[in-house]
Structure 1
Amino acid sequence: MDITRRRLLSALSAAGLLAVVPAGPVSAAAAAAGVARLRANTAAVFAGTPESNARPETAAKIAAVDRAARTNLKAMDDAGTGELFAGLALGTDDANLHTAYRWLYEIALATRVHGGSLYGDAAARRRVVDGLVWLHERYYGDQSKGYYGNWFNWEIGISQQVSKTLVLLYDEVLAQRPDLVRTYVASMDAYLRNGKDGDVNLDSRFHTGANLADITTNRVLQGALLDDIARIRKALTDQLTVFATIDPYHLDHGVTDGYYADGSFIQHASVAYTGSYGKGLLTRVVQTLKILDGTGFAHGEELVPVVHGWVRNGFAPLIFEGWMMEIVKGRAVSRTDSGYTDVAVVVEAAVDLSSLAEGTMARALKGYVKHIRETSRATLDPARFVSPVSVVRYADILADASVPAADLNPAARSVAFNAMDKTVHRRPGYAFALSRSSARISKYEYMNGENLMPWFQGEGAHYLYLSGQDQTRAYGVDYFTTVSPYALAGVTAPAEQRRTVPELYGKPYYDNPGHPLNFTSSSESQNKYVYFPRGTHAHSGGAVLGAYGTAGMVQSSDVAFQDRELLPDDFVVHRNAAATKSWFLLDDEIVVLAAGVGDAAGRAVTTAVDARIAAPDDAVSVTGVRDDGRPWSGPGTAELRWLRYANATQGTAVGYLFLDAPSVRVALDRVTRSRRVVRTANPDTAVTRQVLGVSVDQAAGARPVRLAYALVPHADASRMRSYAKGPLRVLANSRRVQAVAHRGLGLTAVNTFAPGRHEVEAVRVDGPSSLLVRRSPDSALTSVAVSDPTMRRDTVSVLLRGRRLRPVTADEGVRVRAVSGGTRIDVTTHHAYGRSFTVTLRGPH
């Protein structure tokens, strides 16, 4: 194959790789049969089969396809002069042109769906073919007039609709307009302007990850339309690159987009994106594997384990009771689709992947599908699946009594997605998701008028999902609509009022193509400074030891503030507040330490301990105890020992234990805002929520402070009172080192942020580093986990003072030796990219 293989070999065996896309010659008859099978498979994926569509479970799906097609045909009937569809203006709006092609596809699809009322409708098929000709002649065929607006529509979106439509109506197109396929393919190649010679360019930043999977799948279908074996093979070879695990130290084509060894997924070079582009990539590659089945062009069984790994390690930790977590959705957090809708896409992919897998892998995927069905608070609608065949497979899985429902996660799991600066901590009853950022990973994503007020979403914003609750009432678009962007749970923000990009510049981007940095709508400068800016500090990461974890981050301004002297005079930059933060992830508590909290510019600063929303008619209450032991009920400001928020209607509660904090402000406000404040395309729908805000405020000019508190999910008052006797202790809280101990767990957790040796009780560690030490209370075992949160260090050393311990098990790269005063552990962290290294030691019991 004409491709660099080194990166692919990290995901596939050499023998398996060579077998994925067979390169040898095939007979003309075999090639023709393979191409015909590919076209037939494509039709089956999207339109179903006679067998699938005869099943009662597909009736709703078939009806939905019929409704869409008839609506589109009515719009064609009502079209005026110069229109293809009534009311759909063409010529200047690329999104409308994409919609026109999508509506033609929906009509074509209905004519191929067995059991539908339009199945085999020759007149409808002729209208689609005529519509394709009409659009090409007037709005698509002249490339000198096209390619306005969003590049995606021209290089991916329109090509996707056209390619599928031509496959579905292959016989009709050949009979009516035999030249149409070649005409369209030539135009689609010409619009691939970020490509090379009308083909994929693996060096283009536009041809990566989910985008590359879309483009190459389109080109596979185009090859099938043209009977072009070479085109199919080339497209598949290009698509293979998305299956490879990204090695950040040896990038092919400079591409950072894709899946990483720790389960992270990145798109747009630096955006954590599993819940949006990641699920798009998952869908596309699974569909491709189905389309290729039995064609001889690829042996997908070699790739199924890779995709299964994405589901197990990349998606499953981020899905809580059927809800996709906000931390990996980029600008999509501002859309009105819910996290439950996002997960339905993953479920369909898992259903289809299970049909391609074998043995325990297939059983695990089926069990996971059942698990999501049983734990989700929203009813999954299989009628929204892409394929009727998937609807039937889903029904069969649910009906299979031999497959028990089972999560792909253990019940207690802590996951450090350090490659994308995210952390997930799960326990029976809750999940905690943390959004970090750094010089590697973007603070947020804004684009195209979506996610208008994102400024602090990567500044340690957290989401505490409580079991049994409908998460649309806790998070989703209404959370970002009604909670102040300066007071998102977990963030430290200066007191100022920022303006959105459209407010600042009068359009959805900063426009200054004459500047040396060349600001156009899709330029690299736009990406770097407007759409998804990174931070300027390298420290963001953490360690995992079994089911426990730690995370740390040094908050920084984004790169625009750092580069302000390089930017145009009218470009607005923002300076962030300062803070060094740690999160220690235990069983019943998430402990948060913050030091150096303040602002060098002298502004007032607010740290949001938490923010929660509730429906306007939910019965919510806030109670607590003051530092002096007297009971307190909010809202208001007080020096508190602990606080408890309860939503009796939802049956949920969160406790807040203040280990070291000045006065705490508690607000419970009724907020009404339009969903359009977070996304210009959202309906102007007003939503009202009760908004809890728990925060620590610092006046303008105040000296930096430190904070220590714990979130206690589902806590009742007796649980909160019990903390007066422990078991938590803050061991250190400064800008150099932060550490806690939990007596009951025998756990010491340490984050160090400065070079040099740091002493914390009986542990010495050189920094920067993250460290977890757990001494088993009922054995002589001690477990240790170490990571480099800067991803820049070659080694990290730890000294456990006291007894001399010997290793029982140790990861590669970990060396243990007895030294004067204790046991020394040296860990080689060179090129580990934040990975945790663990060792288990034994000593006298």
Structure 2
Amino acid sequence: MSGRPDNRGVHRPTRRSLLRLGGVTAAGALGALVPATAARTPDDTFVRLRRRWREVTAGPGYDPAVEPYRTWLARLGRTAARLRDTMAPARTSLWPDEPFPSFAATPRRLRTMAHAYALEGTGLAGDPALAAAVAAGVDHYRRHVYAAGADPAGNWWHWQIGVPKALLDAAVLAGLPEPPGAALCDAVDHFVPEGRLGGYDGTSTAANRVDLCVVMLLRAMLGSDHGKAALAASALAPVFRLVGDGDGFYRDGSFVQHTYVPYQGGYGVTLLSGLAALLAVLRGSPWEVSGRTVYDMVERSFAPFVLDGACMDLVRGRGIGRKAFGDHDKGREIAAAVLLLGESAPAAERARWHALVKGWAARDTYRPMMEHPDPAFHARLAAVVRDDGVPAAPEPVGHRLLPMSARAVHRRPGWCAALSMASSRIGHYEHGNGENLRGWHTGSGMLYWWAEGHGDHYSDAFWPTVDPYRLPGTTVSTLRLPDGAGAAWGDTCPPGRWVGGATDGTYATVGQHLNGLESTMEAFKSWFFLDDAVLCLGAGITARDGVAVETIVDNRRTGAPLTTGDGWAHLEGHGGYVVRGPLRTTRERRTGGGVTRDYVTLWLDHGVDPRSAGYAYLLLPGTSLEKTRRRAAEPGFARVLANTARLQAVHVPSLGITAANFWNAGSAGGLSASAPCAVLARGGALTVSDPRRDLDELAVTWAGTTYEVPRPGAREGASTTIDLA
């Protein structure tokens, strides 16, 4: 922790609590439940590991007698007591209201009881009766559901990750005695054999691999097994390697799981949290792990998608519609993982991360992080918030383009925009387990944006109530699709390879060769991310579905007044739009998921089965009515140099920018390219990329001079900057 820590109200553990956290009591190494007849010489290595696991669970020193810990811990204690008192072991259940297999609820309840045993302030800390109840419950569930040799029917995840992770956590925290502990170890060994951590493929990659390593380490801690502890650590190695395809971290900061889905806000959080815990527990042990790659990815992969404490939905996969304010929940989980990871990181990273998280916490007024009832996270965050030596980092300004996951984030003072695309390697959307069945068009160029005061725009029941055919920024065929259209788990990649763009870190040109999901619709879409606007172009919009094709200029969850003029529109409290062509608007009240929300929609109708239709409009986030009018009356602000299926290019005199997406070789406005590419010319620099990643050479001509760009596609669609001086 950087700066001078504030020790006000810090709880200094008693010797008794330290012994309990270490799992060392008069009864033996596994805690108060080990009978004297089973006492054995403790393995100090695993005593320390169990102590560290419990310290990670409990969080840094805090006084459980002060608020808010007193209330939270007392509530945990009451919940655990109720669960203990209502436990009624039967052949088909452990609690009458949760019939077996109860893969999630029953193990989770046992873990809750174990947490109450391990944490002071619950009124049940170190209570032998509660520990005995946990032991009896774990063993009952193990015998009736999770028995070695049982048929692992259903989702593999329950048997290899979900159930063993919860049961082992409960066992380590409560100190499972030897006979049931050994039986649980046998069951875990059956469902999660060491070979599961052999090949890095299938369902043993990225976040799943980290979860499997957590299971293996907990199994090692419960059984004091050096071999399994070593395996848990060594099997992490592939997670730290950058990948060029499939699951994992990419050089540009992308993180992908399920082969086709950008997932920092789902599986990525799981990976980051698991690694943070593993690095903290293994620090100083014979199996200490270096986290260099994941340290780098905190700021390269996760931070770009956290806005004022919320994790953007375009990297949350099928989880976007699970519950209201899920984006803020995931932002908090990322913050918690970053703070825990900081305990293992070098001082420089830790200092930056503390400032980063402190800024997120200060700005998240919709779901304040300090109000979340997690004592461990609260204690870590409170220490950072109270530390006057830690500044609250502001929202950054600049552009981050992640071509390998078809995502872009543009930040300017007072507003932020983020773009979600689909490509030959990234699916239109992910559905699975009955979730996100109407997310069809989230990869069709959905343009999210937030101005000041809009931190809850996509959080508050947006997904259950929005029209799924009219997501902002998208171009879609209105052909009706069935729920869960396309293959599950993100395997909905269109054929288009030209998806990406060029950025100098401040501004960007981004493009998508779009093919509609289960549709004949095709379009060439470009976004030019500027200082106070996003200039959006579309061309070559063609379809043969027998229905209309639309481009959704915006669809805001609001009841605010909409004012329209000649070629412009303004939505009060939100922003403005300058549009070429007839703009259509509607206001409606939509109901879904038991809630109702107001929407204002602006769109362009390209007609039924269009042939090479196009569009051009400016999005002005947070802009006033007067500024919108002025911009509409200022045709020279941005000149469209070309808008065809071969080339889209613009010139913005006030910024000194000429930018183009070359779908084919061509030229416009003094800029030309010998092959498909993206080019951004500004000041004394030319920034070039090969979104298709297949060129061996490229010639770009600007202002009469030709520049040779060798192997522009060699670095995963990354931008290459040429200094014109």
Give the TM-score, by structure 2 length: 0.90
Distance change in 2, residues 1:116/1:839 (3 Å): same
Residue 602 (structure 1) shift: 3.8
Instruction: Determine the structure 2 residue equivalent to 1:554.
Output: 513
Question: Of 667, 674, 678, which aligns to 1:766?
Answer: 674
Corresponding pairs, count: 683
Closer, same or farther: CA 655–165 of 1 in aligned 2, 3 Å: same
Using a 3 Å threshold, how does the CA distance of structure 1 residues 292 and 58 change in structure 2: closer, same or farther? farther
Shift of 1:73: 2.2
Tell me, yes or no, if the aligned pair for 1:543 and 1:787 is still in contact at 8 Å: yes
- C-alpha distance in 1, partners of 2:277/2:66? 21
What is the CA distance between 1:714 and its match in structure 2? 1.5
Q: Distance in 1 between matches of 2:381 and 2:70?
A: 14
Residues 148 and 190 in structure 2, CA contact (< 8 A), matched pair in contact too: no
1:159 matched to 2:167? The reply is no
* Paired residues of 2:520 and 2:544 also in contact (CA < 8 A): no
Corresponding residue number in structure 2 for 1:610: 554
- Answer yes or no: is the 8 Å Cα contact 2:400–2:505 preserved in 1: no
Contact 1:333 1:476 in 2 (8 A): no
Instruction: Return the letter of the residue paired with 2:399.
Output: S
Going from structure 1 to structure 2, the CA distance change for 1:767 and 1:61 (only over 3 Å counts) comes to farther
Task: Go from structure 1 to structure 2 and tell me whether the alpha carbon gap of 1:122 and 1:322 turns closer, same or farther (over 3 Å shift).
Answer: same
After superposition, residues 429-508 of structure 1 pair within 5 angstroms as 429-471=414-456, 474-476=457-459, 478-501=461-484
Task: Specify the SS of the correspondent of 1:117.
Answer: coil
* Equivalent residues of 1:422, 1:434 under 8 A apart: yes
The aligned amino acid for 2:569 is: L
1:184 matched to which residue of 2?
Answer: 184
- Larger deviation: 208-217 or 96-105? 96-105
Which range moved further: 196-205 or 388-397?
Answer: 196-205
Does residue 344 of the first structure (1) align with residue 345 of the second (2)?
A: no
Does residue 281 in structure 1 map to residue 277 in structure 2? no
Contact 2:45 2:285 in 1 (8 A): yes
Contact 2:510 2:526 in 1 (8 A): yes
- CA distance, structure 1, for counterparts of residue 720 and residue 195 of structure 2: 46
Task: Give 3-state SS (helix, strand or coil) of 1:365's partner.
Answer: helix
Equivalent of 1:334 in 305, 321, 327: 321
Once the two structures are superposed, what CA deviation does each residue of 1:416-470 show, in whole Å capped at 9, x if it has no partner? 1111111111111111111011111111000111101011110101111112224
* Deviation, structure 1 residue 203: 3.8
After TM superposition, give the deviation of residue 57 of structure 1 in Å.
Answer: 5.0
Aligned ranges for residues 136-155 of structure 1 at < 5 Å? 136-141=142-147, 143-144=149-150, 146-155=151-160
Aligned counterpart for 1:664 among listed residues 558, 579, 583: 583
Any idea what the Cα deviations from partners look like across 1:761-789, whole Å, max 9, x if unmatched? 111112311110012xxxxxx11111111
Deviation at 1:185, TM superposition (A): 2.0
In the other structure, the counterpart of 2:223 is 226
Q: What residue identity is the alignment partner of 2:98?
A: L
Q: For the residues of structure 1 that align with 2:260 and 2:41, how far apart are their CA atoms? A: 44
Which of 799, 817, 822 lines up with 2:701 in the alignment? Answer: 799
TM-aligned CA deviation for residue 544 of structure 1? 0.7
User: Kindly tell me: are residues 478 and 390 of structure 1, through their superposed partners in 2, closer, same or farther at Cα, counting changes over 3 Å?
Assistant: closer
Q: Which runs of structure 2 are paired with 1:66-465 in the superposition (5 Å)?
A: 66-76=77-87, 82-91=92-101, 96-141=102-147, 143-144=149-150, 146-170=151-175, 173-174=176-177, 178-192=178-192, 198-248=195-245, 256-298=246-288, 300=289, 302-303=290-291, 305-338=292-325, 339-382=327-370, 384=372, 388-407=375-394, 410=396, 412-465=397-450
2:584 is aligned with 1:654: no
Partner residue of 1:642? 568
Aligned partners of 1:333 and 1:477 also within 8 Å: no
Aligned residues of 2:168 and 2:215 also touching (Cα < 8 A): yes
Displacement, 1:342? 1.0
Q: Which amino acid aligns with 2:217?
A: V
Cα offset, 1:205, TM superposition: 1.2
SS of the equivalent of 2:663 reads strand
Q: Is the 8 A contact 1:827 1:837 kept in 2?
A: no
Alignment-mate amino acid for residue 208 of structure 2:
N
Q: Secondary structure at the match of 1:370?
A: helix
Checking the alignment, whether the CA contact within 8 Å between 1:377 and 1:469 is kept in structure 2 is no
The 1-side partners of 2:62 and 2:474 are apart by: 54
The secondary structure found in structure 1 opposite 2:676 is strand
User: Displacement of 1:211 after TM fit?
Assistant: 0.7
In terms of mean alpha carbon deviation, does 44-53 or 147-156 score higher?
44-53
Alpha-carbon displacement from aligned partner over 1:731-787 (angstroms, at most 9, x marks no partner): 100000001111100001100112x3x111111112311110012xxxxxx111111
TM normalised by structure 1 equals 0.77
Alpha-carbon distance, 1:55 to partner = 5.9
Letter in 2 for 1:347: A
Residue in structure 1 matched with residue 653 of structure 2 by the alignment? 743
State the SS of the aligned residue for 2:55: helix
Task: Output the CA distance in 2 between the equivalents of 1:749 and 1:798.
Answer: 12
Structure 1 residue aligned with 2:617: 709
- Report matched runs for 1:569-648 at 5 Å: 574-614=518-558, 618=559, 620-626=560-566, 641-646=567-572
Q: CA deviation at 1:207?
A: 0.4
> Residues 139 and 184 of structure 2 are in contact (CA less than 8 Å); yes or no, is this contact kept in structure 1?
no
Give the match's secondary structure for 1:131: helix
AA partner of residue 188 (structure 2): M
Percent of aligned positions that are identical: 28
Cα distance change, pair 51–455 in 1 and its aligned pair in 2 (3 A): closer
Q: Pick from 776, 788, 792 the counterpart of residue 690 of structure 2.
A: 788
Could you say if the C-alpha distance between residues 477 and 212 of structure 1 is closer, same or farther in structure 2, counting changes exceeding 3 Å?
farther
Change in Cα spacing, 1:425 to 1:286, as seen in structure 2 (3 Å) is same
Unaligned 5+ segments in structure 1 are 1-28, 249-255, 505-509, 511-525, 559-573, 627-640, 647-651, 676-685, 776-781, 803-821
Cα distance in 2 between the residues matched to 1:131 and 1:238: 31
Please point out which of 711, 717, 720 is paired with 1:828.
711
Query: CA 1:383–1:214 in structure 2 vs 1: closer, same or farther (change >3 Å)?
Result: farther
What is the alpha-carbon distance in structure 2 between the residues aligned to residue 405 and residue 360 of structure 1?
16
Tell me if structure 1 keeps the 8 A contact 2:642–2:668. Answer: yes
Instruction: Give how far 1:381 is off.
Output: 4.1
The answer as to whether partners of 2:277 and 2:341 remain within 8 angstroms in 1 is no
Letter matched to residue 670 of structure 2: A
Gaps spanning 5+ residues in structure 2: where? Answer: 1-39
Question: In the TM superposition, what is the alpha-carbon distance from 1:105 to its structure 2 partner?
Answer: 1.4
Letter in 2 for 1:341: D
Q: CA deviation at 1:624?
A: 2.2
The CA deviation at 1:379 is 4.1
Asked if structure 2 preserves the Cα contact closer than 8 Å seen for 1:60 and 1:383, the reply is: no
* Structure 1 residue 824 displacement after superposition: 2.1
SS in 1 for 2:118: coil
* 2:265–2:315 CA contact under 8 A, matched in 1: yes
Q: Counterpart of 1:832 in structure 2: which amino acid?
A: R
Q: Is the 8 A contact 1:371 1:406 kept in 2?
A: yes
The residue type paired with residue 774 of structure 1 is: R
- Partner-residue secondary structure (3-state), 2:569: strand
Q: 1:537 to 1:53 in 2, by over 3 A?
A: same
> What is residue 724 of structure 2 aligned with on the other side?
841
CA contact (8 A) 1:770 1:789 kept: yes
